[in-house]
């Protein structure tokens, strides 16, 4: 089950597929998530922050799409282990990533 707290959020992706242990993802300039592949523990919340000049979104594996304006963020809690893919639906060609929940 995913619990979502929408504050506001954005998109972007790096090319690295090596998981980084963090609960914070930046929607950095140049249409990318940084880092784009993260690893967290079950029950932790990931926060995506839009540091870009454009609006982005965060959509996790078929869940609701969360619009994230410039300077805003969105937080999503991951209650079950697994691998979850996410994307900015406005810039899906460039902005996508993965959350690995242990």
What is the C-alpha separation between 7 and 91, in angstroms, rounded?
20
**DSSP, res 53:** S
What is the C-alpha separation between 7 and 14, in angstroms, rounded?
23
**DSSP, res 82:** E
Mean confidence (pLDDT) of the chain? 88
- For the stretch 14-59, pLDDT in tens is 446 789 999 999 999 889 999 999 999 999 999 999 999 999 999 9
Q: What pLDDT score does 13 carry?
A: 41
Q: What pLDDT score does 62 carry?
A: 79
- Percent of the chain at pLDDT > 70 equals 84
**Structure pTM?**
0.83
């Amino acid at each position: 089950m995913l619990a979502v707290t929408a504050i506001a959020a954005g998109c972007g992706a790096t090319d690295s597929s090596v998981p980084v242990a963090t609960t914070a993802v930046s929607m950095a300039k140049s249409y990318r998530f940084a880092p784009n592949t993260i690893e967290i523990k079950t029950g932790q919340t990931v926060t995506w922050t839009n540091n870009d000049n454009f609006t982005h979104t965060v959509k996790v594996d078929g869940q609701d799409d969360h619009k994230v304006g410039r300077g805003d963020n969105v937080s999503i809690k991951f209650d079950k282990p697994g691998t979850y893919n996410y994307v900015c639906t406005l810039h899906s060609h460039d902005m996508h990533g993965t959350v690995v929940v242990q």
